[in-house]
Structure formats: structure tokens, C-alpha cells
Amino acid sequence: MTQDELKQAVARAAIQYVVAGQIVGVGTGSTANFFIDELAKIKDKIPGAVASSEATAARLRSHGIKVLDLNEVTSMPVYIDGADEIDASGAMIKGGGAALTREKIVASVAEKFVCIADGSKLVNVLGKFPLPIEVIPMAQAVVARQLSLLGGEPKLRMKDGKPLLTDNGNVILDVHELEITNPVAMEAVMNNIVGVVTVGLFAKQGANVCLLGMADGVKTLT
Ligand code: 5RP
């Protein structure tokens, strides 16, 4: 099976976690896009969705799925999203698609985080994938210095020769060379750096369920 077929398989499997009559939180990225395509098939069963990025909102709308503002929503049973890395405890690195801040916000409102990923995303120790951190642009240099003191090598994410700007107008520092043996502690330390908006470590609130696409089928980690 190709990586895309594995992503499609977990996207299909995730539909069983959508609760009829309830709003669903939707993540960002290629796996989340496959999920949106599956969600479209049952769109009449849900009142709408909350999107974690402008790209996701556009894809949901293109399928005729109502997109709700998070400010109108007080609870949702489930948030479904991909990950760049996940460990056996459900801690994740996210933000490869630069949507980490809105992803963390929407996930914080959901009762359950269902992670959907192809099997290559499961790791023993987080950190091989550079850790994305969303930063206020004027704080980029000072935050980078602080991150270096933690042993990482921060690199400003670029696009078309310019710093990539998130949906929130901020920049992303991707931190290389980290071995994250205690993700909960690392998330707390990095969250405390002035100028950091969001750390792409989802450890304090990690995934409750992970659907992993493997060659021999979808495995469920809880
Ligand atoms: C976007 C994310 C994505 O969930 C993550 O990058 C995984 O993406 P993909 O499903 O394309 O592998 O965190 O900010």
C-alpha cells in the first residue's frame, strides 16, 4: 500500500468516531484532507465542523459542510487530525502544515483527540521530525537563542524565499536535533519562553486514540 492509501484507510476508520448530531473538530494536512473527503459522505448527519486552518475551512466548504466559528461552540465530542510524529503515550509533534496553534485550540475544546496517521509516524522518542514552534515575528531571534540553550537548532521556516506566515500572521521556527525524552516537561518549558505562541508538542493533551495505517490494516492505539 502507498502512504496515501494508508492515510485514506485511517481517514475512513475515523468516521466511526464522528458522533451523529454533534459538531466535529477537523485538523489540517494530507491525512485530515482524506478525512474531510470521507466526512463529506456523511455530512447530513452532522450540524457542521470547526476547522483548524483556513485550508481546512475551504476544503470543508467545498464539500458543502458548514464551518462554525469556535466562538459559537462550547463543546464537541471529538477532534480528528494527523500528526508528524506520535509516541506510544499519545504525545505528538504537530505543525508540519503550520496550523499548530489553531489545531491546539480546537483540540482543547474537544473531549477526545483521535489521531490519524500512517504507520511511519509512530516513534519511540519524539524529535527526529523538527519541532515546529509558532513565534511572534519580532521575537524570532530572541526565541531562537532560548531554544538553542535547550540544545535545539532552530531554523526559520521559509516559503518562496520569504519567512512563511501562519494563518495568524506569525512565523515558524523548526527546531532540529532535539531528542524529546520528556515531552510534557519540554512542552511546559518551551511554552514559557516569551514570544512563543504555540509549541508543536501535543503532550499535556495528547491523542486519546491513534488510528495507525499499517500494511496489514488499521491498528488502534489507546
Ligand atoms: C499540520 C499538522 C499535520 O497534522 C501534520 O503535519 C501531518 O500532516 P500529514 O497528514 O500531511 O502527514 O500538524 O499543522
Q: What is the pLDDT tens value at each position of the chain, 222 positions in all?
A: 899 999 999 999 999 999 999 999 999 999 999 999 999 999 999 999 999 999 999 999 999 999 999 999 999 999 999 999 999 999 999 999 999 999 999 999 999 999 999 999 999 999 999 999 999 999 999 999 999 999 999 999 999 999 999 999 999 999 999 999 999 999 999 999 999 999 999 999 999 999 999 999 999 998
Task: Please tell me the predicted confidence (pLDDT) of residue 109.
Answer: 97
pTM: 0.94
Q: Rounded to an integer, what distance in angstroms lies between the CA atom of residue 85 and that of residue 125? A: 9
Ligand 1 close to Cβ of residue 82 (< 6 A):
yes
Query: Which 8-state DSSP code applies to residue 181?
Result: S
Ligand 1 close to Cβ of residue 81 (< 6 A):
yes
Ligand 1 close to Cβ of residue 80 (< 6 A):
no
128 is in an annotated binding site: no
Question: Taking a C-beta distance cutoff of 8 angstroms, is the pair 15, 68 a contact?
Answer: no
How many other C-beta atoms are found inside a 10 Å radius of the C-beta of residue 187?
21
49 is in an annotated binding site: no
Ligand 1 close to Cβ of residue 115 (< 6 A):
no
Interval between CA 28 and ligand 1 midpoint (Å)? 6
**Nearest to residue 23, comparing CAs of 114, 109, 116?**
109
CA 179, 185, 187, 191: dihedral to nearest 10 degrees? -130
Q: What is the edge-to-edge ordering of all strands in the sheet holding 24-26?
A: 49-51, 24-26, 76-81, 110-118, 209-214, 217-221
Q: Rounded to an integer, what distance in angstroms lies between the CA atom of residue 150 and that of residue 187? A: 12
**Nearest to residue 195, comparing CAs of 145, 149, 153?**
145
Catalytic member of 85, 103, 134, 187: 103
User: Model ipTM?
Assistant: 0.98
Q: Rounded to an integer, what distance in angstroms lies between the CA atom of residue 154 and that of residue 131? A: 9
User: Catalytic annotation on 177?
Assistant: no
**Nearest to residue 131, comparing CAs of 66, 73, 203, 61?**
203
